Amino acid sequence: MFHRLADFAASNGAGAGADVARHLVDLLPKTQSGNRDLDRLAAVKQARDDKAAAYFDDIAESWDSLRSLHVDDRKVETVIGDWLGQTPIGSLLDIGTGTGRILEVLSPLIERGVGIDQSREMLSVARANLERGSYENCQVRQADLYRLPFAEADFDAAVIHQVLHYLDEPGAAIREAARVLSPGGRLVVIDFQPHRMENLRDEYSHRRLGFSEDTIRAFFTQAGLTPKDTTALAGSELTVGVWLAEKSPVTIGDTELTP
């Protein structure tokens, strides 16, 4: 079960019940039993992380084939290319790069591409794919998407492709992506819209059964991004949402400065 404070209901970041919920949490006694609950929570989250990592390791070589069971990737790639290809991109960050497919698709549109992933096996596949295709303007490295090893404003665009549903804190991942975007930079998020395929939790280590339009827009807003566009691509059983957001440009007087 996932619970959160009601923080999406108001523009100031505090929903109608948020203050009450925080007050109730503060009233909880700091007992040994409560500490055991927190220890158990950490153990459950660690077990989930280990299970997801093991899953990625097991299916690294067949990841692209697995994705095709859920959605036609070519349609998604067309939307991403159309959106990001409207203006020049100096640098692109692919968060959760997997086999490096997004880097391959967008390589002709960018000067420099960096893909990050935590799975060494995935990165091995991605490196092989990039070398095989001679995508010399792209590279991959191991990194934590919650703590990206890049400075602020390092990238003109970022993509998070089919990653959020594996995460405990998808909003935090979007905030970290926003941090490394330059003013006027764009973020594209691709993930499932809400569904009821509970088997994906056990069979594919999905943490969340999709995201609604309102939830993604709230993630963007909390990260300081402006939602720009969205589209839905229906498959046989699952619908994929593609969302575009933009970081505010720097304004001096009446002039906007973008990369």
CATH assignment of the domain containing 85: 3.40.50.150
For residue 28, tell me if it sits in a domain: no
How far from the centroid of its chain's Cα atoms is residue 192's Cα? 12
For residue 7, tell me if it sits in a domain: no
> What pLDDT score does 254 carry?
47
> What pLDDT score does 66 carry?
55
For residue 54, tell me if it sits in a domain: no
Domain that holds residue 125: 63-257
Which residue has tokens 């809400």? 194
Domains identified in the chain, total number: 1
The whole-angstrom separation of Cα 98 and Cα 75 is: 18
Give the predicted TM-score (pTM) of the model: 0.77
How far from the centroid of its chain's Cα atoms is residue 31's Cα? 36
Give Cβ neighbours of residue 20 (< 8 Å, ≥ 6 apart). Answer: none
For residue 36, tell me if it sits in a domain: no
Per-residue pLDDT of the chain (259 residues; tens, 9 = 90+): 556 555 444 334 455 677 787 788 788 877 777 788 888 888 887 876 676 667 666 766 655 555 555 667 889 999 999 999 988 899 999 999 998 999 999 999 999 999 999 988 888 888 888 988 999 999 999 999 999 999 999 999 999 999 999 999 999 999 999 999 999 999 999 999 999 888 888 877 889 999 999 999 999 999 999 999 999 998 878 899 999 999 998 644 545 555 5
For residue 40, tell me if it sits in a domain: no
Q: What's the farthest any 2 CA atoms get from each other in the chain?
A: 60
For residue 232, tell me if it sits in a domain: yes
> What pLDDT score does 59 carry?
67
For residue 141, tell me if it sits in a domain: yes
Instruction: Tell which residue, 98, 91, 191, has the closest CA to residue 150.
Output: 91
> What pLDDT score does 14 carry?
52
For residue 34, tell me if it sits in a domain: no
**Contact indicator for 126, 103 with CB cutoff of 8 Å:** yes
> What pLDDT score does 53 carry?
65
